[in-house]
Amino acid sequence: MAYGKIIVTQGTSDFLQGSTDFDNNLALLKDKIREFFNLKNVNFLFGSGTSCGAIPTMSKLYKDLSFDNDEEDMEREFECIVKKEGENLEKCLNVMYSARNYYSGLEDSDDGEQKNIEKQKQLYNSLINKIERHIFYSINIPFDGEDQQKVLEYYKTFYQKMALRNKDNSRIRVFTTNNDLFSETALDALNIHYINGFSGGLHKYFNPAIFNYTWSKRMDTSIDKYEPVENMVYLYKIHGSVNWRESNDAGNNYFEIEEVVPSETKADGSVLIYPTPTKQDKSLGSPYVDLFREFQNKLLEPHSVLFVIGYSFSDRHVNDIIYRALATNSTINVVIFGIKPNENERKNKPIFFIDDNRIFTISGVEYEDEKLTNKIGTINYFDYIVNNLIPNLDAFRKDDDLLDKFVLSLKQETKKDEDR
């Protein structure tokens, strides 16, 4: 027997109708989620919460930022901005972008004033570059730490369950605002095919037409009969990735965005949207406009569901696409794993306050004991969702264990032969 509290709202109504029976409520929630997974089109939107614990939060990034002895001017200017905006790196970056744009737009004046303008432009350029590099290298990390390995296992569990969906339904689509490589690393480890918008061999370049392709296998050698490969997902990194970079050597490729191996990633020339309120403007350029168009089109398909995990609804462009889908697609459902915000957030996050039966909000906590002292997990967190709420595929997992055991045995036998 488990204890705790589950909160599920459908529109503004209590989906659980006031029930306090945790086990019964959990069973009802699982049944509803399983029902959604039977829809033809299943989409996920991942935010920073899915990588939480392995990738530093914005507040942690702020605390870890440091300046060298020869960067006193930058440090002084940064401290002035923090006094006005608070310890919020996103707001601080927005002030810096605005200041840089202001000084860049000033017309030439007398030499003395022009020197001061150039000095200020250089100051803000240097400050922005420093912070963006700090963010980039905090995201682009090896997965050898305990926290990183733990989060990677959550991703692997998620994709292991998702990839083996019924072949009669569309393949799972994962849209993510995260720039890290947890999804790619998990998919590679599981040998799951994925389409992320890049094509090529030695050099992979962005080509949005790839999203219209799928992996198929031939069913009969005598006739041209194919069926979709089961273990495949679509991955859309709508804010870019640490392993994307602009390339001047794209050849015949129209899009000059290249996907490189992690060891070759650098902050200079990287293609990702940094966390600032001006990010909507940047999302209007390539490749983002193509990725956002895919997001919009997929949410307009009939009989769809969008599961939102770890996303704070702080990106207006993403939010607008979700609102547009709810306004035009009567058969879409949106399932948000997260706590309903306070009333003062109504203007910024109206989706939590709309009385629409297609919108579900899920949160809560599970405990081991009746006194609610030993917490098992937070129901709206990624680890709890993948381990407890997503439909279980034990049969497939047994098959995977069998294959893993064979591969291990084969490696051991091969090593014995080499040692003889």
- What's the chain's Rg over C-alpha atoms? 24
Q: Residue 273 pLDDT more than 80? A: no
Least confident of 41-45, 319-323, 399-403: 399-403
Distance CA 172, CA 231 (A): 10
Q: Residue 360 pLDDT more than 90? A: yes
The pLDDT tens digits of the residues spanning 207-242 come to 888 898 887 777 766 667 777 777 889 999 998 888
Question: Which residues, other chains included, contact 208 with Cβ-Cβ below 8 Å and sequence gap of 6+?
Answer: 197, 255, 287, 290, 291, 293, 294
Cα 319–323–324 angle (5° rounding)? Answer: 115
Which domains are assigned to the chain?
Answer: 3-54+146-404 (3.40.50.1220), 58-139 (no CATH)
In this prediction, residues 259-284 reach a mean pLDDT of 60
Question: Which residues, other chains included, contact 65 with Cβ-Cβ below 8 Å and sequence gap of 6+?
Answer: 89, 131, 134
At 364 the pLDDT is 96
Residue 363's H or E segment, with its range, is: strand 359-367
Distance CA 14, CA 340 (A): 13
pTM reported for the whole predicted model: 0.84
At 394 the pLDDT is 45
Q: What is the pLDDT confidence band of residue 398, given thresholds at 50, 70 and 90? A: low
Nearest to 4, CA basis, from 27, 18, 20: 20
The pLDDT tens digits of the residues spanning 16-30 come to 999 999 999 999 999
Joined together, the tokens standing for residue 119 give 């000095």
CA-CA distances (angstroms) from residue 393 to 35, 115, 125? 15, 66, 51
Question: Which residues, other chains included, contact 97 with Cβ-Cβ below 8 Å and sequence gap of 6+?
Answer: 128, 276, 278
At 414 the pLDDT is 81
The pLDDT tens digits of the residues spanning 322-344 come to 999 999 999 999 999 999 999 99
In this prediction, residues 387-415 reach a mean pLDDT of 71
At 283 the pLDDT is 47
Distance CA 337, CA 1 (A): 23
Average pLDDT, the chain: 86
